[in-house]
Structure 1
Amino acid sequence: MSTFYIQINSIKYYEKKSYNYLEAQLLVFSKDFQTYKDIFVNINSYHYGCGAVCIQSINDIINSINIYIDYDNSLELLDEKLFENRFQLPKLDKAKLLNDIDNLEFKYYSNSSYRFKKDNIFWKEIEISNLPNNSYITNLYMLTLRKSIILDSSHLSNNILLLTYDREDIYSRHCGKQEIEEDLRKSDEIRGILKHGVYNSIDLIKEKNERMKKKVELTIESE
């Protein structure tokens, strides 16, 4: 039986005295149907979290995988371990989304660049770390801050947000990069921008798709 990007090769359902469980073998295709991978499903009433397992329980898995593939996500990165013992991928907790922003860590620096026979360039930098391990959300942080008028530039590298502001051309001695005291008001302002922008623009389907991927070292770089 075929269901869009998924071919169901087998389904077995077992009932025991104290629990029941379901096993299935799925053949999942990429969006262009050029590649495929086997997914083995094994869910039971101990782990499923919503009472007894029935044949219809497989629908959650099929619908989620179909949406994942339809959004052009990598079949290779689909985490088959999600389906080995259970499939329980809750909706995003927006309270946690805001808490993650509160837990961001800030470091401040002054920096400058020497220019021959011209005023030197001076600016301030912020490095924001402790970002969520979710590339969709960290990119959303980036897109939100790019729209902010309080920053001169921003980019994301090796799971750290790098921001600059207060750029000036000054006839003064070039000093290079030096760590300075955190500007708490500026940090709170950035957190507020992120909370408003991310909370109101997040795509819950894309965020869920990201959680369905295998966890890899985050080395995204954007400018």
Structure 2
Amino acid sequence: MSLNRVDYLTIEKVDTLGEYTAHYGSRRFYDVMLKPVLKVKSVEGKNEGFLLLPGYLDKDIFYPCPLRIMYMKLYQITQQQSGEGYTRRTSVEAQIEVYDQSLANHISHRLVLTNTGSTGLDYMQFNRIFNLINLYVDAGNPLEQLNLDAFTQYEPREDDRSTLLRAINSLQFEFFENSRNVVGKDNFFWEEAEVRAVTNDPYLQKIILDGLRKNCESLYVKDDHLLLTFAHDRAYSPSFSRRKMESRPGGDSSIKDNVKFELAKMYDSRTHLLSKLKKRAATT
């Protein structure tokens, strides 16, 4: 259905966390008082340009006003298209305010999605985005860390099983033997591992580090790698300089398997998804 064929768009579950939906739906509003809707207005001089104004419909009378969607306030949505086929350009824009849980503080934002080509993009793309924003705030996340630039027409999605396992299988291990001379006592011996290619996803990174810590005696975060130490022992044997181990029984397989077990226990898809909306700490 096209926007030029309707006067109003149906809005459902505006007061239900994570369930807001705007769609074409039914236009039988005459028997409903103060039904939340988006009024469709054509924009003159624009090739398939539309302005969607939120408000309430009381039988056949429309009352325009910003629409409260849980922790958000929607002022308007615009949708424009130009060109044809693979040169077609679509743009949708929403003017919003996002409030914290206390509703005392807010940020204003102009959320713009664009796409070129035949892939569909329209106002309904904002349904899931608005719900994710509300879930983010409701989970107690800081408003100042909300990264609204994370939203595109391919807004953050949940990772599938293969993506999660790849984050662990991609870990690169190098094993070393090391020792320290102790005057007058048995010398000190241990094994180490340098771990690289750790995902930069903060949520997965935390689970991986927690899993690695349970498989070693100590873990140190270095500039470009992690350093794990295991198997500390004392012996009356000559000490030696740190040396790479060409082979190690079990290699890294058992460690990776244990980290996967930790992932299975600790992973929460919604928490992971919402973590993608947080601004990353600046690195130096």
Normalised to the residue count of structure 1, the TM-score between the two structures is 0.77
**Structure-1 separation of matches of 2:209 and 2:93:** 41
- Which amino acid in structure 2 is aligned with residue 81 of structure 1? D
Query: Any conservation in 1 of the 2:186–2:235 contact (CA below 8 Å)?
Result: yes
Matched, 1:167 2:232: yes
Query: Any conservation in 1 of the 2:191–2:231 contact (CA below 8 Å)?
Result: yes
1:27 aligned to 92, 97, 118, which one? 97
Normalised to the residue count of structure 2, the TM-score between the two structures is 0.62
Query: Any conservation in 2 of the 1:45–1:53 contact (CA below 8 Å)?
Result: no
**Structure-2 separation of matches of 1:117 and 1:191:** 39
**Structure-2 separation of matches of 1:45 and 1:63:** 21
Return the offset for 1:184.
6.7
Query: Any conservation in 2 of the 1:122–1:168 contact (CA below 8 Å)?
Result: yes
1:154 aligned to 219, 232, 256, which one? 219
Tell me: CA distance 1:214–1:166, structure 2 relative to 1, closer, same or farther (3 Å): same
**Structure-1 separation of matches of 2:193 and 2:171:** 12
**Structure-2 separation of matches of 1:48 and 1:25:** 25
Return the offset for 1:191.
1.7
What is the root-mean-square deviation of aligned Cα atoms in Å? 3.1
Query: Any conservation in 1 of the 2:79–2:122 contact (CA below 8 Å)?
Result: no
Identical aligned residues as a percent? 24
Tell me: CA distance 1:144–1:41, structure 2 relative to 1, closer, same or farther (3 Å): same
Higher relative contact order (CA closer than 8 Å, sequence separation 6+): 1
| Secondary structure of 2:273 counterpart | helix
Query: Any conservation in 1 of the 2:129–2:155 contact (CA below 8 Å)?
Result: no
Counterpart position of 1:42: 112
Counterpart position of 1:127: 194
> Structure 1 stretch 161-170 or stretch 14-23: which is displaced more?
14-23
Matched, 1:118 2:185: yes
Query: Any conservation in 2 of the 1:159–1:218 contact (CA below 8 Å)?
Result: no
Tell me: CA distance 1:176–1:27, structure 2 relative to 1, closer, same or farther (3 Å): farther
Query: Any conservation in 1 of the 2:115–2:153 contact (CA below 8 Å)?
Result: no
> Which structure has the bigger radius of gyration?
2
Can you list the C-alpha shifts for 1:11-44, whole angstroms capped at 9, x where unaligned? 1233547676432122223445564332221235
| Secondary structure of 1:186 counterpart | coil
Matched, 1:189 2:257: no
Counterpart position of 2:128: 60
Return the offset for 1:175.
3.4
Query: Any conservation in 1 of the 2:219–2:226 contact (CA below 8 Å)?
Result: yes
Counterpart position of 1:201: 266
Counterpart position of 1:104: 171
Counterpart position of 2:279: 214
